Amino acid sequence: MTKKKFNLTEWTPQPQQRESAPSVPVAVPQNLQDSDIEIVTQRIEAACIDITANYQDWLDLGFALAGELGEAGRSYFQRLSRFYPGYDEHEADKKFSSCMATGSGKVNISTFFHLAQQAGVSVSIKRQSVTPPPTPPVAKMAVAAEDPPEPMPTFSDLVKGDLPDFLQRIVSFSNSAMDADLLILGTVTAISACLPNFSGVYDRRRVYANLYLFVTAQASAGKGRLSLCKNIIMPIHEKLREEYSRLKATYDEEMTAFLKSSRKEGLSRPKEVAMKTLIMPANSSATAMCQTLDDNDGVGLMFETEGDTLATTFKSEHGNYSDTLRKAFHHESISYNRRKDREFVELKIPRLSAVLSGTPRQVLSLIPDAENGLFSRFIFYSIDVALVWNDVFASSSDKTMEECFDELGKRFDYLYTQMQAAEPMTFRFTTPQEQEFNDFFRSVQTEYAQLYGLDIVGSIRRLGLITYRIAMVMTALRFMENVPMQQIVFCSETDFQNALSMVQVLLRHTAKVFESLPTSAAVSALSEKTEAKQAFYDQLPPDFSRETYLSLAQKLNIPQRSAERYIQTFCKEGKLVRAFHGQYRKP
């Protein structure tokens, strides 16, 4: 007999089934899919929450996963168990094997969702299809509700015939529609940092073309090819580094002469050389990031193919410049203190672009919840893992991809030099384009707010600005096709429609990443647990017994198993010393 999949919409908790069962139905996914368990598990992992408040919950979790997923539930059980401070991989493995062998007809997969929701983690999975206004075709964009899910939509087939010639050359090196999307987005974002004397007016504010991109995919999905786009702007970066090396050598000579001289010679101390660069390391401190931007007249590009690098930097004591990224996206002034001279510096018009890639978990490390302001500033693109083996010997040319992109970099460097010498230019939409743009995003904002809630509205509104900037980049690339550089540069209808086509697809990718992020309630629950744990430690006497700390835990409404975990953790951290069995003291 074929096992019937459990339908969560038919589940109504029975009080006699579990003492901890909720009195109302849990808001769990309709038409359960295995991917729903993965989504909720990722949310739990992002918040680092132990959803097993006591041993019985841990046991029931094992029964729930074993009964629904069989052997495939073992990895989920391990992932969810590891947040217990006394977690032991071997012990958890044995416990799951026991759950597989004995089973429990009274526990089903609804217990997993109940435990997650009880811990403050959202278990809502939305499946509504989204069909934005018909500009341009959106036949590819239907959301699949069946299992397996339909692959994420792509835009390259919609736009590749009408792209600027430079991007057409980029697309010619792609091996799939998704790879073409990746190369287009990577190139456009990298170039967005290198368009001098070119700006526009959006919502009555002067804006530049700078974009933030995050490509997310599992390992070996192909996101590594994004690094090819870096070659396009390397000639600009290398020229700046060479200029810095020359200036630094002169400075070193002058400093040597100054140090050897006496005061009578009247030499003044040489001025330190600004750090000239385009590409900025993601593992900089917040102050170093601002200093480097200031040295380069506010212009910079962060290009990092491992999202963990930035996430780890954000967690360091002086490395969280999330606020700097949010302000730089809108060219808002950034103030900081220069550490060496204790000088207050204000960076008036930062123009920073960013190209990042990483796994879905790395996104969660960087952006902890859906309400984080950094989320709405990024273009997100989610790559599907395709079980296709590409012919690695298909090309008869001896020229490598790196060499091909190096040549494209030299072509773009010529445009960059021309734009540096040009008079300031202002980019604009035509009046009909402005009307169509407003109508499109007005409709999309309403529809997505109904489908995903108000938290996604910030992303929709900033995707409007992103669309405007994508059109700016495409228009600038047309200068390579003998389009004249004028004081006012209007967007062509072709580039306007291309930008809309791209963003219609990017809306879907944004929504996918949005749904994978935990709610702020989950993060708040974690914060509350941390505060309760600290309060528990603070109220422990200098010397105490097991009976003493259990009595204190009861007063603070902390479960016995949680109190025992806290004591174990305090001992491991050196906050407590186990004098002998059942007796503890604070060092």
In the predicted model, is pLDDT for residue 119 greater than 50?
yes
| Three-state DSSP state, 286 | helix
Mean pLDDT confidence for 277-292: 86
Question: In terms of DSSP H, where are the helices of 208-268?
Answer: 230-260
In the predicted model, is pLDDT for residue 124 greater than 80?
no
Q: Which of 73-77, 242-246, 357-361 has the highest mean pLDDT?
A: 242-246
Task: Kindly state the tokens that stand for 375.
Answer: 């989320």
**CA nearest neighbour of 441 among 456, 459, 460:** 460
In the predicted model, is pLDDT for residue 272 greater than 90?
no
Q: Would you list the DSSP string of 196-239?
A: TTEEEEETTEEE----EEEEE--TTSSGGGGGGGHHHHHHHHHH
Mean pLDDT confidence for 532-541: 84
Do 351 and 298 touch, CB atoms closer than 8 A? yes
Do 194 and 150 touch, CB atoms closer than 8 A? no
Contacts of 256 (CB under 8 A, 6+ apart): none
Question: pLDDT per residue over 435-458, tens digit each?
Answer: 999 999 999 999 888 888 888 899
- pLDDT number for residue 140: 37
In the predicted model, is pLDDT for residue 13 greater than 80?
no
Average per-residue pLDDT for the chain:
81
Interior angle at CA 308, CA 307 and CA 311, nearest 5: 95
Terminal CA-CA length for the chain: 62
Task: Kindly state the tokens that stand for 61.
Answer: 């979790």
Task: Kindly state the tokens that stand for 13.
Answer: 């908790």
Task: Kindly state the tokens that stand for 582.
Answer: 């059942």
Q: Among 139-148, 354-363, 455-464, 547-556, which stretch is predicted with the lowest mean pLDDT?
A: 139-148
- pLDDT number for residue 137: 41
- pLDDT number for residue 107: 82
Q: What's the pTM?
A: 0.65
In the predicted model, is pLDDT for residue 111 greater than 80?
yes
In the predicted model, is pLDDT for residue 238 greater than 90?
yes
Q: Which long-range contacts (CB under 8 A, 24 or more apart) does 219-225 make?
A: 219/359, 220/385, 221/383, 221/384, 221/385, 221/386, 222/178, 222/179, 222/182, 222/383, 222/386, 223/182, 223/305, 223/357, 223/358, 223/383, 224/305, 224/357, 225/179, 225/182, 225/183
Rg, C-alpha atoms of the chain: 28
Task: Kindly state the tokens that stand for 69.
Answer: 């997923």
- The percentage of residues in the chain with a pLDDT greater than 90, rounded to a whole number, is 36
